[in-house]
Amino acid sequence: MDRVVPQAVPLGQMEVFQALQRLHMTVFSQSVSPCGKFLAAGNNYGQIAIFSLSAALSSEAKEESKKPVVTFQAHDGPVYSMVSTDRQLVSAGDGEVKAWLWAEILKKGSKELWRCQPPYRTSLEVPEINSLLLVPKENSLILAGGDCQLHTMDLETGAFTRALRGHTDYIHCLALRERSPEVLSGGEDGAVRLWDLRTAKEVQTIEVYKHEECSRPHNGRWIGCLATDSDWMVCGGGPALTLWHLRSSTPTTIFPMRAPQKHVTFYQDLILSAGQGPCVNQWQLSGELKAQVPGSSPGLLSLSLNQQPAAPECKVLTAAGNSCRVDVFTNLGYRAFSLSF
């Protein structure tokens, strides 16, 4: 297993270094393999760890089963976002996107397949790319972050085909309306913007913080998470976590959660959210809090639902954030165990 350690460090000091590294670790991103049996997690040191979900969930699992099967250095800085295609693991860091073949990773190989950098305005600009979104029908990848633009990349050719401009500040999150097809983006400017991928035009803007029922000026206007389900959107951050009807741009449910939320997703008839604090929150669409399930991290930055049909035995929710652990929920009621870097 490859790990990043200083060169020529005595064994005792190396162990101290690794312990300190784990103590100060943040896991920013997760992605499930195409087969559904493995989970990739990316941290603030630029490392990607691959965990075997099938081994960890086995009735014969041991403590070693909850450790990575391989760890490799992917970026010089944090791994802010990851997605998986049917063959590749794609990750984003400071100013660049890289890809690896899942088949090679699982053979303990970590040779990158390709890397690319969006066309930034100046060569001195190295903005964070902290959100990646696959558009399967177009075989394209959308990325966004510190340069306030959405960049579309053709996955077949590697070419950047367009840049969508409208945000006036850092973009935090992306979501796809597949039927439309439209992409939603949210960021520090407090706006959720809807983009028509056929015309590359902005078609709707919702400035969440301007709605009195959503506004929380003491937390700021930033949008840190969003998800969409057909005509509905849920978003949060500085403003309250809110369910919106997109066609009418109307907030329909304000969820009574004080802490800013960093990740949200629709799941069956529930909305799952996480952010400041150790809990995964389960919400009814009506706004009622169904459950708060505690995890092992003091704050959560990402949730991942493994719903790959090829591995129904690995159907789990995983949550990660401000620690070296990735919590695994085999059902939504409790944390079964934690994976650990």
Instruction: Find how far residue 93's CA is from the centre of its chain.
Output: 12
Q: Which of 144, 151, 152, 40 is nearest to 99 (CA)?
A: 40
pLDDT at 12: 75
CA distances from 56 to 36, 37, 63, 314 (A): 13, 10, 8, 9
pLDDT at 14: 84
DSSP H helices in the chain? 11-23, 53-57, 102-105
Say if residues 219 and 249 touch (Cβ distance below 8 Å): no
The gap between the terminal CA atoms of the chain, to the nearest Å, is 11
pLDDT at 18: 83
Residue 32 sits at the vertex; the CA angle it makes with 151 and 316, to the nearest 5 degrees, is 130
Q: What are phi and psi for residue 210, nearest 5 degrees?
A: -80, -10
* Residue 169 burial (C-beta neighbours within 10 Å; 0-12, 13-18, 19+): middle
How many Cα atoms within 13 Å fall on the side-chain side of residue 274?
Answer: 25
Q: Take residue 315 and report the two structure tokens written for it.
A: 């159907």
pLDDT at 13: 83
Beta bridge partners of 184: 175, 194
Residue in this structure with the two tokens 């369910």, named with its chain if needed: 243
Residues of the chain with pLDDT below 50 are 1-6
Per the document, the length of the chain is 341
Residue 127 sits at the vertex; the CA angle it makes with 124 and 133, to the nearest 5 degrees, is 140
Q: Take residue 312 and report the two structure tokens written for it.
A: 């129904």
Q: Which domains are delineated in the chain?
A: 118-254 (2.130.10.10)
Q: Take residue 260 and report the two structure tokens written for it.
A: 């800013």
How many Cα atoms within 13 Å fall on the side-chain side of residue 28?
Answer: 24
DSSP of 76-138, one letter per residue?
A: SS---EEEE-SSEEEEE-BS-EEEEEHHHHTTT----SEEE----SSTT---BEEEEEEEGGG
